[in-house]
Amino acid sequence: MRVLLIDDHELVWKGTQRLCEGVARVTGTGAELDFAAVRDLEDALALPDREFDLVLLDYHLPGMSGLQALHAVQGAFEGAVVCMLSAECGRDSVRDVLEAGAAGFIPKSYGEAEMSAALELVLRHKTYVPAEFLFAEDVVRDRSADEVRNEDLKLFLINDLSPRQRQVLKLALQGLPNKIIARQLSIAEGTVKVHLSMVYRALGVRNRVGALCRVLQADAVATLG
Amino acid sequence: MQWQPWAEERLGVADALTDEAFDRERLSVLVGYSAALRFQMTTIALVISGIAHAGGAPLLQVLIWLAGTMLVRETRAFFLLRLSRSSAPIAERLRKTTAWTLALGAAYGASSIFMLHTDRAFDAILTMILMSLSAGAVSTTFTLVPALVAFAASIALPLFVLWAFGSVDWIDWAVAGLVVLFFGVQVRFAGQNMRMFADSYRMRLENSRLLSDLTAERARLAAARDAAVAADLSKSRFLAAASHDLRQPLQSLALNSGALSRMAMSEPSREIANDIGVGIDALRRMLDALLDISQLEAGAVVPDLRPISVERLLEGLCLRQLPAVQAKGLVLNWHSEQGASVFSDAQMLQRVLSNLLDNALKFTERGSIELCARRVGERIELTVRDTGCGIDEADQALVFEDLTQLHNPRRDRAMGHGLGLGIVRRLCRLLGIEVGVESRLGEGTCFSLRVPTSAEASVAPSEAAPSHPALVARRVLVLDDDEGVRSAYSVSLGSMGCVVSVAADLRQAEAALGTADIEVALVDFRLAENMNGLEAVARLRQRSPGLVALIVSADTSTALRELAAQEGVPMLRKPVSDALLAIAIDNALAEAESARRPAQGV
């Protein structure tokens, strides 16, 4: 397990490393944890070996927006799951980052226990979304009368989605960009998009964030395998 | 010669620059007049010469005077023009101007010599002309009173002398006296004119100063506004920086102390590590609250107003609080009117309610906490009621103040920092929520929130409903045994302009076919009494052949789809979005029409 932290505050490097070590120990990948930290994107791109499993990216890097940084990292570290760390947790930033395919958004205001729980999820290739955001998205979502209810969503995911659709949705919810999903499943990127749009329609949502919130709200991530 | 006092006395302006400017103005007025009067002055000199010669003065004398006077006038005019453009000190220039004016006065005054040759009648005419000239000087030379005095005196003095000393009777004396009197009047008038001139100059000066003050003031205001905007921006930037930079060391502390407490160590060390952890946790919560408050104060938070399902809001909140409430041995109840919705910011409203719930939990030792929503007029009233220790009436107004902590005389920070209700107050103000508190000591407290609903906000609908022109006035029948589904379809189809009839079962559907001229039937696959949608469509088509129908189903197995295709009924998979529904109905209608047309054509 190789983890890269990109954060201009060296102050948090050691702590984050210890956090990752603790989490890796719990998730059972502790022995091979290889942690690297860099100050900015430039240093990250200069790394000789870019084979990382997880990139932890500070939302506020000097000189660029969080979204720009995310896109750059996704481009440079193909195959890595990218998780955002942020000192502030604005609705729009969470939405944008998840929509762009980040595997999670962890507020830095969290305590150690909360952070390690969030990181555990991400290291298990699941997505972490701040509870406040998830909750807020749910209570404002329009529901159509015949929508599949949360209780039935697990069954719906198992029975009504094709195995391929489930696979695509699972990878999308892990925060992988469409291109990577296409490569992993050896299908065309356009096919990934078609699958996803069908799944979104079936879930009654409009995009990745909606699907993510829907599935998390129904506690149905596990059904995706 | 005293000209400077004029400026200071009359203007009351101390600064030398203004005095100088005033003096320059005086000079330029005077020069302007003297340059403009060449023709008149020449005429006067010629007339005097003529009269003097006609009266008996020797021609040579007269010609010498005329030539001398013209020379003085022209030279004076030339030098005055130069003086007005000179860069010499203004005092000196004024002095020279006075000297030249004295010379001019002396030149004209010298013509009174001719009186020695003329008789009294000619003397009188000459005197009249000279006095008129002197009177005219008041209005051309008043800006430089010493010059006027010099000019008038050099005319009046010879006249006085000649009348007085060549006197034969009282008339000569009287004229001499009048000349003196007239001199005095002239000087007084000149002084008055000068004062008026000074006044008007001062007013002009003040006006222009006011104008420039006004311009400066406007510029200052603009600068102040810019500064305020910049300050606001920098305040926001400061807040952002503070929230960003303060969190880093705090996060480092939290992460390391967490790692530390998981390490193997002696009991005393563990205790210390735990205490550090508790301290960091309190610090973290307090920083969050303080930053929240300062962000709210700075107006850096903009609510994202949307319709919020109250049922889901209460359920989500209560389910999350339930473990903590039950751990304290309390009961948590919640209740909401069905379908109630408010128009607010989900995250902020949730924050308000969870702060109130935290508070209720903190101060309630036994009994229950209750969260209710009910409609009150246009608004939804949310109440958080507890059976806790209650708040003294006198303290009820205080609870929303920052850092107020009732029931915590020892200021034990583990009980919180007293910012929770301050945040509630600020968030409610931002969201337009009316907050109320009712409490009785020892019996409990009830906080109430009156939250705006979409009804109040519906003036500007957030999203314009898409219109589907093809569906306007289409008569649609919805057949579904679930009432909620029926009303949802009827709302969404209605918004597309359809005329909707609803039916819960086949009997009602058949009745609807009889009364309304139905064009499309939207039928749920699973109907009550073990009937399926395809059977229902078949029965309806018996009554109304060629009825366009669509089946909606959650089950879309291939077998079912084939069955539907055989019947010529399109199948829609649940859930169906509005847009999809519109397209499907539109397609089905278009298909049916194109199938009908060739048949009619044959």
The beta-carbon neighbor of A15 closest among B247, B252, B313 is B252
- Based on the domain organization, do B50 and B119 belong to the same domain? yes
Contacts of B574 in chain A (CB under 8 A): 146-148
Mean pLDDT calculated for residue range A25-31? 69
> Which domain range does residue A153 map to?
141-224
Domain boundary, last residue among B166, B190, B210: B210
pLDDT digits (tens, 9 = 90+) for B173-197: 898 999 999 999 999 988 998 888 8
Amino acid letter, B589: L
Whether residue B403 lies inside any domain: the answer is: no
CA-closest candidate to residue A93, choices A108, A105, A82: A105
Mean pLDDT calculated for residue range B550-576? 76
pLDDT band at B107 (very low <50, low <70, confident <90, very high): very high
Whether residue B252 lies inside any domain: the answer is: no
* DSSP string for residues in B271-317: HHHHHHHHHHHHHHHHHHHHHHHHHHHTT------EEEEHHHHHHHH
Q: Do B248 and A139 touch (CB under 8 A)?
A: no
Domain boundary, last residue among A131, A156, A187: A131
- Based on the domain organization, do B151 and B12 belong to the same domain? yes
Q: Do A109 and B255 touch (CB under 8 A)?
A: no
Residue A14, both tokens:
């050691």
Whether residue A145 lies inside any domain: the answer is: yes
Residue B350 forms contact with A (CB below 8 Å): yes
Residue B312, both tokens:
């889901």
pLDDT digits (tens, 9 = 90+) for B197-242: 888 888 888 888 888 888 888 888 888 888 887 777 676 667 666 7
Domain boundary, last residue among A98, A131, A164: A131
- Based on the domain organization, do A10 and A104 belong to the same domain? yes
Q: What is the pLDDT of residue B545?
A: 82
For residue B261, give how far its alpha carbon lies from the nearest alpha carbon of chain A (Å). Answer: 11
Q: What is the pLDDT of residue B376?
A: 87
Residue B400, both tokens:
């929303």
ipTM (interface predicted TM):
0.73
- Based on the domain organization, do A103 and A6 belong to the same domain? yes
Choose the mutation target among B255, B311, B427, B523 for the interface with A, i.e. most A CBs under 10 Å: B255
d(CA B311, CA A140): 11
CA-closest candidate to residue A3, choices B250, A11, A16: A16
- Cβ pair A170, A225 in contact under 8 A: yes
The two counts, helices (H) then strands (E), for chain A are 11, 5
Q: Do B243 and A140 touch (CB under 8 A)?
A: no
Higher pLDDT: B415 or B423? It is B423
- Based on the domain organization, do A71 and A169 belong to the same domain? no
Most confident of A124-128, B159-163, B481-485: B159-163
* DSSP string for residues in B476-490: EEEE-S-HHHHHHHH
Q: Do A148 and B309 touch (CB under 8 A)?
A: no
Distances (CA, A) of B215 to B202, B203, B211, B532: 19, 18, 6, 83
Q: What is the pLDDT of residue B18?
A: 64
Q: What is the pLDDT of residue B484?
A: 74
- Based on the domain organization, do A34 and A102 belong to the same domain? yes
**Averaged pLDDT of chain B:** 81
- Based on the domain organization, do B15 and B51 belong to the same domain? yes
pLDDT band at B416 (very low <50, low <70, confident <90, very high): low
Mean pLDDT calculated for residue range B378-403? 82
- Based on the domain organization, do A126 and A147 belong to the same domain? no
CB atoms within 10 A of CB B562: 11
Residue B274 forms contact with A (CB below 8 Å): no
- Chain B residue with CA closest to A162: the answer is B557
Q: What is the pLDDT of residue B347?
A: 84
The beta-carbon neighbor of A109 closest among B247, B313, B316 is B247
SS3 of residue B142 by DSSP:
coil
- Cβ pair A171, A199 in contact under 8 A: no
Whether residue B164 lies inside any domain: the answer is: yes
CA-closest candidate to residue A145, choices B581, B484, B477: B484
Whether residue A159 lies inside any domain: the answer is: yes
pLDDT at A143 over 70: no
Q: What is the pLDDT of residue B150?
A: 92
Percentage of chain A lying above the pLDDT 90 cut: 8
Residue A111 forms contact with B (CB below 8 Å): yes
- Cβ pair B145, B190 in contact under 8 A: yes
Q: What is the pLDDT of residue B404?
A: 65
The two counts, helices (H) then strands (E), for chain B are 19, 12
d(CA A154, CA A167): 15
pLDDT band at B62 (very low <50, low <70, confident <90, very high): very high
Mean pLDDT calculated for residue range A151-173? 83
The domain total for chain B is 3
pLDDT at A56 over 90: yes
- Based on the domain organization, do A166 and A185 belong to the same domain? yes
The domain total for chain A is 2
Contacts of A199 in chain B (CB under 8 A): none
- Based on the domain organization, do B18 and B111 belong to the same domain? yes
Domain boundary, last residue among A131, A152, A167: A131
- Based on the domain organization, do B16 and B89 belong to the same domain? yes
Q: What is the pLDDT of residue B430?
A: 87
pLDDT digits (tens, 9 = 90+) for A191-215: 888 888 888 888 878 788 888 888 8
- Based on the domain organization, do B373 and B430 belong to the same domain? yes
d(CA B102, CA B129): 18
Percentage of chain B lying above the pLDDT 90 cut: 13
Residue A14 forms contact with B (CB below 8 Å): yes
B329, HSE (Cβ side, Cα atoms, 13 Å): 4
Contacts of A160 in chain B (CB under 8 A): 554
> Which domain range does residue B40 map to?
4-210
Whether residue B462 lies inside any domain: the answer is: no
Whether residue B229 lies inside any domain: the answer is: no
pLDDT band at B458 (very low <50, low <70, confident <90, very high): very low
Domain boundary, last residue among B181, B210, B239: B210
- Based on the domain organization, do B474 and B567 belong to the same domain? yes
Whether residue A70 lies inside any domain: the answer is: yes
Mean pLDDT calculated for residue range B548-560? 76
**Averaged pLDDT of chain A:** 84
Residue whose pair of structure tokens reads 């023709």 in the numeric block: B39
- Based on the domain organization, do A6 and A99 belong to the same domain? yes
Whether residue A136 lies inside any domain: the answer is: no
- Based on the domain organization, do B87 and B115 belong to the same domain? yes
Whether residue A111 lies inside any domain: the answer is: yes
- Based on the domain organization, do B113 and B41 belong to the same domain? yes
- Based on the domain organization, do A11 and A121 belong to the same domain? yes
d(CA B415, CA B418): 9
- Based on the domain organization, do B448 and B480 belong to the same domain? no
Percentage of chain A lying above the pLDDT 70 cut: 96
pLDDT band at B152 (very low <50, low <70, confident <90, very high): very high
What CATH code is carried by the domain that includes residue B591? 3.40.50.2300
CB atoms within 10 A of CB B532: 17
d(CA A69, CA A57): 8
Residue B459 has φ and ψ, to the nearest 5°, of -55, -40
Q: Do B306 and A140 touch (CB under 8 A)?
A: yes
Beta strand extents in chain A (DSSP E only): 2-6, 34-38, 54-58, 81-86, 104-107
Query: Mutual orientation of helices B170-261 and B145-165 as an angle, nearest 10°?
Result: 170
- Based on the domain organization, do A115 and A37 belong to the same domain? yes
pLDDT digits (tens, 9 = 90+) for A95-119: 888 888 888 899 888 888 888 888 8
- Based on the domain organization, do B171 and B94 belong to the same domain? yes
- Based on the domain organization, do A26 and A76 belong to the same domain? yes
Instruction: Output the 3-class SS for B440-457.
Output: ECCCEEEEEEEECCHHHH
Whether residue A85 lies inside any domain: the answer is: yes
Domain boundary, last residue among B164, B185, B210: B210
Choose the mutation target among A19, A65, A140 for the interface with B, i.e. most B CBs under 10 Å: A140
* CB-based contacts of A28, cutoff 8 Å, min separation 6: none
d(CA A180, CA B583): 33
- Cβ pair B555, B525 in contact under 8 A: yes
What CATH code is carried by the domain that includes residue A204? 1.10.10.10
Residue B378 forms contact with A (CB below 8 Å): no
* DSSP string for residues in B107-176: HHHGGGGGGGTS-HHHHHHHHHHHHHHHHHHHHHHTTSHHHHHHHHHHHHHHHHHHHHHT--SHHHHHHH
Mean pLDDT calculated for residue range A141-155? 71
- Based on the domain organization, do A55 and A156 belong to the same domain? no
Mean pLDDT calculated for residue range B328-336? 89
pLDDT at B583 over 60: yes
Whether residue A31 lies inside any domain: the answer is: yes
pLDDT digits (tens, 9 = 90+) for A124-138: 878 888 877 887 777
Q: How remote is the C-alpha of B559 from its chain's centroid?
A: 67
What CATH code is carried by the domain that includes residue A111? 3.40.50.2300
Amino acid letter, B431: L
- Based on the domain organization, do B434 and B501 belong to the same domain? no
List the single range of B70-79, B290-299, B526-535 with lowest mean pLDDT.
B290-299
Beta strand extents in B165-225 (DSSP E only): none
d(CA B556, CA B160): 132
Whether residue B255 lies inside any domain: the answer is: no
pLDDT digits (tens, 9 = 90+) for B280-293: 888 888 888 877 77
pLDDT at B471 over 70: yes
Which residues partner with B576 through β-bridges?
A: none
* CB-based contacts of B214, cutoff 8 Å, min separation 6: none
- Based on the domain organization, do A124 and A220 belong to the same domain? no
List the single range of A43-47, A105-109, A159-163, B494-498 with lowest mean pLDDT.
B494-498
